[in-house]
Amino acid sequence: MALANWAGNVRFGAERVETPASVDEVQEVLASATRVRALGSAHSFNLIADTDDTLLSTARLITAPRIDTEARTVTVGGGMRYGELAPALEAEGWALANLASLPHISIAGAIATGTHGSGDGVGTLSSAVAGLQLVTPAGEVRELRRGDADFDGAVVSLGALGVVTEVTLDIEPTFAVRQRVYEKLPLEVALAEFDAIMGAAYSVSLFHRWDAPDVVDQVWTKARGDEAPLLPGSIGEASEQVHMLAGVTPEATTPQRGEAGAWLDRLAHFKLSHTPSNGDELQSEMLVPRAHAVEALRVVRGLAARFAPLVQVMEVRSMRADGLWLSPAYEQDTVGLHFTWLPRQSEVEGAVAMLEQALEPFGARPHWGKLTRLDPRVLAAVWPRLGDFAELARRCDPEGKMRNPFLDRVLTAGR
């Protein structure tokens, strides 16, 4: 069958695709298949979700949100997208602390791969998880809550432990955000004042297009207060709505220019009502300890001449440390170096390998859902709990029903 990921660079090899709408139906699919991989919104760029047997789409696992006001949590079907949950929360006066760039991604898929937004004081999307309901490969329905023995290993799970049918997330009272975009920040100022810039607002993203080597083209700030961020250097606010890619209409981007609006209309870069692009791109991301971010950026900039023709834009974001075993921010404040590439697979794979090798001395971790070499030696070095995760996966799935070559490489590295 012909089924592809969002970018179209991966053609899944599944013999069948099932779309269960209930726990019972998930159990039936698991019982009838030899190998299963769960598939969310397919916004991945590698073979993490591939299988030669059965793809289990979570698209219909979208139970209505259940808000617990006392616990300040919401429980929702794992297949629901963030952009669908957000209006339901806002209607009841609640909010999520963070959103990724795209509200189009599924909740279970995003947390399973350690996806994140930005903000010095804000955690990854996975860090907001307070509980999980999953169906194990043997068909057992298992509930895990924050503080349980296996919880920290089960949130960013790469789909290795079973099918997540419900997710419970932390929520907080709704809040307003003002988004402003500043243009043409000198690169040396950005590096010299990195901490001040990344901490200038609730959420900050730096966009570097690489066509002007000494300039950060845009600084996107999302502030919860009324005051505009104070940024160093000679930099001015964009005079009109902009897109981070040169020459692209900003119609799909969320409102800028400091106009106050609800969190769900500002924290993501793109509107749910618009497709942010046609998927004609590839993505990779390396996540480095905050303490090494500036040095790592200098190393990356030194490689620019070798692969700049392949880059559409690089985004720099920050996130708070957490305790989830396979989280990019496990036990360290982290900075993500995210690359959007032209869709030239073989050339981009070579550039990604070069980046990973250059950033290895800094303990850089690859994003689980993006292009990566999956070097077992590096994986074992940068995720100290990988061995514990491999043991958890073997305990939950002794017959390897959820396994595929991607997972085999990861779990082998954890031995």
Spatial distance between the Cα atoms of 270 and 252, rounded to a whole number of angstroms: 6
- The answer to whether 73 touches 327, Cβ cutoff 8 Å, is no
Residues pairing with 289 in the sheet? 334
- Condensed to tens digits (0 to 9), the pLDDT of residues 64-78 reads 999 999 999 999 999
Q: Report the relative pairing of strands 163-170 and 73-77 from DSSP bridges.
A: antiparallel
pTM of the model: 0.96
Spatial distance between the Cα atoms of 22 and 16, rounded to a whole number of angstroms: 18
* pLDDT for position 9: 93
Q: Return the percent helix, strand and coil in the chain, to nearest 5.
A: 30, 25, 45
The 10 Å Cβ neighbour count of residue 298 is 11
Report, as an integer, the average pLDDT of 199-226. Answer: 92
Which residue is it, tokens 């808000």?
A: 67
Spatial distance between the Cα atoms of 308 and 293, rounded to a whole number of angstroms: 20
Q: Note the Cα 13 to chain centre separation in Å.
A: 24
* pLDDT for position 211: 77
- The answer to whether 255 touches 310, Cβ cutoff 8 Å, is no
Alpha helices in 281-343 (DSSP H): 293-302, 304-307
- Counting every residue written for the chain, the total comes to 415
| β strands within 290-378, DSSP E | 311-319, 334-341, 365-366
* pLDDT for position 230: 82
Give residue 327's identity as a one-letter amino acid code.
S
The model's confidence at residue 51, banded by pLDDT at 50, 70 and 90, is very high
Which residue is it, tokens 């793109």?
A: 270
Which residue is it, tokens 């106009």?
A: 259
Spatial distance between the Cα atoms of 125 and 113, rounded to a whole number of angstroms: 10
Q: Report the relative pairing of strands 176-186 and 94-95 from DSSP bridges.
A: unpaired
Q: What proportion of the chain, given as a percentage, has pLDDT over 90?
A: 88
- What is the per-residue DSSP string for 183-232? EEEEHHHHHHTHHHHHTSSSEEEEEE-SSSTTEEEEEEEEESSSSPP---
- The answer to whether 223 touches 182, Cβ cutoff 8 Å, is no
> Strand 141-145's sheet: what is its strand order?
66-68, 73-77, 163-170, 129-135, 141-145
Q: Note the Cα 330 to chain centre separation in Å.
A: 14
212 CB contacts (<8 Å, ≥6 apart)?
none
- Condensed to tens digits (0 to 9), the pLDDT of residues 240-295 reads 999 998 889 999 999 999 999 999 999 999 998 877 665 689 999 999 999 999 99
Q: Note the Cα 98 to chain centre separation in Å.
A: 11
Residue 346 three-state SS: helix
- Condensed to tens digits (0 to 9), the pLDDT of residues 316-368 reads 999 999 999 999 999 999 999 999 999 999 999 999 999 999 999 999 999 99
140 CB contacts (<8 Å, ≥6 apart)?
none
- Condensed to tens digits (0 to 9), the pLDDT of residues 315-329 reads 999 999 999 999 999
* pLDDT for position 1: 45
Spatial distance between the Cα atoms of 238 and 259, rounded to a whole number of angstroms: 13
Residues pairing with 218 in the sheet? 183, 207
pLDDT at 234 over 80: no
Using CB atoms within 10 Å of the CB of residue 345, give its burial: 0 to 12 exposed, 13 to 18 middle, 19+ buried.
Answer: middle
